[in-house]
């Protein structure tokens, strides 16, 4: 039950009445009409911009329309006051009972409260992580992983049908490097001296791969030329790395619905088919690119290449799909992969990428637009860098990998829930500072703690209530008489709860899971505030033995708060805590 949607319905029908009475022209576009909480709570529960939006098309002054609307809305169920304000806002006040009436619904729906039908079952593919299968995941991947998984969870919650997908880059030169690196570890396992040349992967994580290779092949590969073992070792090592990646993801609580292999696109005609589809639209041609201005590579020479006409879709230059040796550039299989996703019938595609892929967005959007005839939108979410610090000082650690901080390092230090929540307390396109000291701090400054603490406090209240003999089951509380509720603090908290469905929809439609984290912080703040009032005034305490009706009503409010916090954390993939330690 979304109170804002409900009141918006009242506003729209009031507008229709004015149209029917001839006081507003027909055929108005009502798309811009919003009903939102006003910035300043003193302005009331909700405000609508309807009069201002309609002013121009209706050719009437906004105040004039507002007056008429106020008249039409007067006496609508649940509205206690309608006032014209400022340039033409309508400030609306609701009967407080309307806000409290949301509680039984929240309690009845439990973890599903706030679920939306916004997506209407549209199919969305969220591709994220997609790290090269050449080693364990590091911090940068971790942010993308958490973001992608939370976004997927959010979209699912908002009524989309979501696929979580990982694109395995197992078709390029980097997996050959992996194979050579693993081969040195294999030689090491055979008692030979490994030669980890410049450019190979030096990390310890390949040592067990080398040992496993020896177990499988004995010493038989040591004297063979590279051409004899490269393919098999590559396959073996890639599989081992993907096992590692899956384990890392599992530690974060992430389960992919599908792993898609780049290699599977080669030799199966899929790349050719994708490019043929583009060629049929006259978007592929042989041409010569100009050297980039201002920064011409020294070995630059103009050459004819096979190019994709991405400029037709807003890119700055056309992009090569073939290398000079005739092989595909990485862009070609990427086109084929996205073609595959389009062909699988998704209504929307989302790519979660690292900031270093920023330059790649336009051409990929161009390709998807071309391949789907503009039917399938592609949203590329770039996750900026994570800056690791400890108590403000730069943090460096490299026990497993050789030169980077791994996902496991982070999880070992702070745990899954903290990692996930903190990574979501910043919007994806802003850099994130991750301070190992601060994220574990038990204080208000740390949003993870603050939100978890609110949940734990609510849980504690309910536990004590149960000990005192109150029925605290959700169905018991859903049936409670809520009329004792009505203090300013209770109303504020109930309003905050009433905003939950709206927050879900705004976050989902913007692909911004961080909004959920910020909302939870605000909700927690209202709850902490209310709880504290009980310290100052015994009458305000949740548990009042002298007033069981009031207590029961307040318990419903407390429980509803815990339910919403829990639902929100669920979207973010964070486990709510019942007690802090």
> Residue 46: in which H helix or E strand, if any?
strand 46-48
| Token couple for 188 | 């090491």
**191 Ramachandran zone, left/alpha/beta (phi>0; psi -120 to 50):** left
Q: Least distance from C-beta 216 to RNA, angstroms?
A: 27
**Nearer to RNA (CB atom), residue 395 or residue 542:** 542
| Interface with RNA, residue 581, by CB under 7 A | yes
CB 395 within 8 A of CB 236: no
Whole-angstrom distance, CA of residue 522 vs CA of residue 515: 11
User: Which one, 8 or 187, has the nearer CB to RNA?
Assistant: 8
> Tokens at residue 12, please?
């729209």
* Residues near RNA (CB under 7 A), total: 102
Three-state SS string across 325-374, please?
Answer: CCCECCHHHHHHHHHHHHHCCCCEEEEEEEHHHHHHHHHHHHHHHHHCCC
Among positions 382, 414, 440, 491, the unique one binding RNA when judged by CB under 7 A: 382
- Asked if 299 is part of the footprint of RNA (rule: CB under 7 A), the reply reads yes
Q: Per-residue string for binding with RNA, 326-355, x by CB under 7 A?
A: -x-xx--x---------------------x
Count CA atoms within 13 Å of residue 17 on its CB side.
Answer: 14
* Residue 174 contacts RNA per CB under 7 A: yes
> Of 75, 199, 267, 294, which lies in the binding site for RNA, with binding defined by CB under 7 A?
294
Residue 361 touches RNA, criterion: CB under 7 A: yes
The contact mask relative to RNA for 478-497 (x = CB under 7 A, - = no) is --------------------
**Residue 460, Cβ density class (10 Å: 0-12 exposed, 13-18 middle, ≥19 buried):** middle
Q: Does 80 participate in binding RNA (rule CB under 7 A)?
A: no
Q: Is 39 in the site for RNA (CB under 7 A)?
A: yes
Site string for RNA, 401-440 (x = CB under 7 A): -------------------------xx-xxxxx-------
Tokens of 449: 């703690």
- Residues between 246 and 285 with contacts to RNA, criterion CB under 7 A: 262
Q: Binding residue for RNA (CB under 7 A) from 154, 449, 493, 552?
A: 449
Contact set for RNA, span 209-238 (CB under 7 A): none
The 511-530 contact track toward RNA, x by CB under 7 A, reads -x-xx--x--x---x--xx-
Is residue 239 helix, strand or coil?
helix
Determine which residue in the list 57, 292, 437, 473 makes contact with RNA, applying CB under 7 A. Answer: 292
Q: Would you count residue 96 as binding RNA (CB under 7 A)?
A: no
Residue 540 CB, nearest approach to RNA (Å):
6
Would you count residue 461 as binding RNA (CB under 7 A)? yes
Could you tell me which stretch among 101-109, 239-247, 295-303, 471-479 binds RNA (CB under 7 A)? 295-303
Distance CA 579, CA 338 (A): 45
Q: What are the structure tokens assigned to 426, written together? A: 């910043």
Nearest to RNA of 203, 210 (CB atom): 203
Which of 215, 301, 373, 393 touches RNA (CB under 7 A)? 301
Contacts of 362 (CB under 8 A, 6+ apart): 310, 313, 314, 315, 316
Nearer to RNA, 257 or 429 (CB): 429
Least separation in angstroms between residue 84's CB and RNA is 9
Taking contact as CB under 7 A, which single stretch among the options 135-143, 222-230, 279-287, 532-540 is the one that binds RNA? 532-540
Place of tokens 């916090």: 565
379 contacts 385 by C-beta, under 8 angstroms:
no
Alpha carbon distance 318, 308 (integer Å): 6
Nearer to RNA, 37 or 415 (CB): 37
By CB under 7 A, name the one of 385, 397, 440, 491 that touches RNA.
385
Residues whose CB is less than 8 angstroms from the CB of residue 472 and which lie 6 or more positions away in sequence, other chains included: 462, 465, 466, 555, 559
Segment 123-142, which members bind RNA (CB under 7 A)? 132
Q: Which is nearer to RNA, 147 or 453 (CB)?
A: 453
What's the distance, Cα to Cα, between the start and end of the chain in Å?
35
Alpha helices in 74-203 (DSSP H): 96-100, 102-109, 139-157, 173-189
Piece of 235-243, 274-282, 539-547, 565-573 that binds RNA (CB under 7 A): 539-547
Q: How far is the CB of 189 from RNA (least distance, A)?
A: 27
**Residue among 381, 377, 357, 359 at smallest CA distance from 368:** 377
Q: For RNA, which is the closer residue by CB, 143 or 457?
A: 457
What does the block give as tokens for 88? 């033409």
Closer CB to RNA, 99 or 189, in the complex? 99
Interface residue with RNA among 182, 336, 540, 564 (CB under 7 A) is 540
Smaller CB distance to RNA: residue 417 or 512?
512
Q: What is the edge-to-edge ordering of all strands in the sheet holding 35-36?
A: 35-36, 46-48, 89-94, 79-85
Q: Between 213 and 370, name the residue whose CB sits nearer to RNA.
A: 370
* Residue 102 and residue 488 in contact, taking contact as beta carbons nearer than 8 Å: no
Residues 2-31 that bind RNA (CB under 7 A): none
Compute the half-sphere exposure of residue 130: CA atoms within 13 Å on the CB side of its CA. 22
Q: How far is CA 225 from the centre of its chain?
A: 47
Which neighbouring-strand residues pair with 164?
A: 126
Identified binder of RNA from the candidate list 3, 15, 52, 376, rule CB under 7 A: 52
């Amino acid at each position: 039950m979304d109170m804002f949607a409900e009141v918006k319905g009242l506003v729209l029908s009031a507008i229709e009445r004015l149209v029917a009475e001839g006081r507003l022209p027909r055929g108005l576009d009502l798309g811009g009409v919003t009903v939102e909480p006003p910035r300043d709570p003193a302005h009331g529960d909700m405000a609508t911009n309807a009069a201002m939006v309609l002013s121009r098309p209706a050719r009437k002054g906004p105040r004039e329309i507002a007056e008429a609307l106020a008249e039409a809305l007067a006496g609508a169920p649940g509205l206690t006051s309608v006032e014209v304000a400022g340039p033409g806002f309508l400030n609306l006040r609701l009967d407080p009972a309307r806000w409290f009436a949301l509680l039984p619904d929240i309690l009845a729906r439990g973890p599903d409260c706030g679920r939306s039908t916004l997506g209407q079952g549209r199919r969305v593919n969220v591709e994220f992580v997609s790290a090269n299968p050449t080693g364990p995941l590091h911090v940068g991947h971790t942010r993308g992983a958490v973001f992608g998984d939370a976004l997927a969870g959010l979209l699912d919650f908002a009524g989309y049908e979501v696929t979580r997908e990982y694109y395995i880059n197992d078709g390029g030169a980097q997996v050959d490097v992996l194979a050579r690196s693993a081969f040195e570890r294999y030689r090491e396992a055979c008692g030979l001296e490994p030669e980890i040349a410049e450019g190979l992967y030096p990390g310890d994580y390949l040592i067990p791969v080398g040992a496993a290779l020896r177990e499988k092949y004995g010493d038989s590969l040591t004297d063979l030329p590279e051409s004899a073992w490269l393919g098999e070792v590559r396959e073996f090592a890639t599989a081992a790395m993907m096992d590692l990646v899956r384990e890392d993801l599992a530690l974060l609580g992430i389960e992919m619905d599908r792993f898609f292999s780049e290699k599977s696109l080669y030799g199966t005609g899929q790349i050719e088919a994708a490019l043929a589809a583009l060629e049929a639209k006259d978007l592929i041609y042989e041409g010569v690119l100009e050297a980039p201005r201002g920064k011409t590579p020294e070995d630059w020479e103009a050459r004819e290449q096979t190019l994709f006409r991405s400029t037709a879709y807003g890119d700055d230059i056309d992009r090569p799909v073939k290398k000079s040796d005739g092989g595909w550039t990485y862009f070609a299989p990427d086109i084929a992969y996205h073609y595959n996703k389009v062909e699988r019938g998704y209504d929307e595609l989302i790519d979660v990428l690292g900031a270093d892929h920023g330059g790649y967005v336009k051409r990929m959007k161009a390709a998807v637009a071309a391949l789907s005839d503009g039917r399938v939108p592609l949203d590329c979410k770039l996750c900026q860098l994570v800056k690791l610090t400890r108590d403000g000082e730069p943090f460096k650690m490299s026990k497993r990998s050789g030169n980077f901080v791994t996902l496991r390092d982070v999880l070992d230090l702070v745990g899954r829930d903290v990692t996930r929540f903190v990574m979501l307390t910043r919007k994806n396109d802003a850099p994130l500072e991750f301070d190992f000291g601060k994220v574990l701090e038990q204080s208000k400054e740390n949003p993870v703690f603050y939100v978890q603490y609110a949940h734990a406090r609510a849980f504690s209240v309910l536990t004590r209530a149960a000990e005192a003999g109150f029925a605290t089951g959700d169905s018991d509380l859903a049936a409670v008489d809520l009329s004792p509720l009505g203090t300013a603090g209770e109303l504020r908290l109930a309003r905050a709860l009433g905003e939950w469905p709206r927050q879900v929809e705004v976050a989902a439609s913007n692909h911004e899971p961080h909004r959920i984290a910020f909302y939870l912080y605000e909700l927690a703040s209202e709850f902490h505030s209310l709880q504290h009032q009980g310290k100052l005034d015994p009458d305000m305490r949740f548990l009042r033995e002298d007033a069981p009706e009031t207590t029961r009503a307040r318990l419903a409010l407390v429980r509803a708060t815990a339910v919403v916090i829990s639902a929100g954390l669920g979207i973010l993939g964070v486990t709510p805590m019942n007690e802090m330690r």
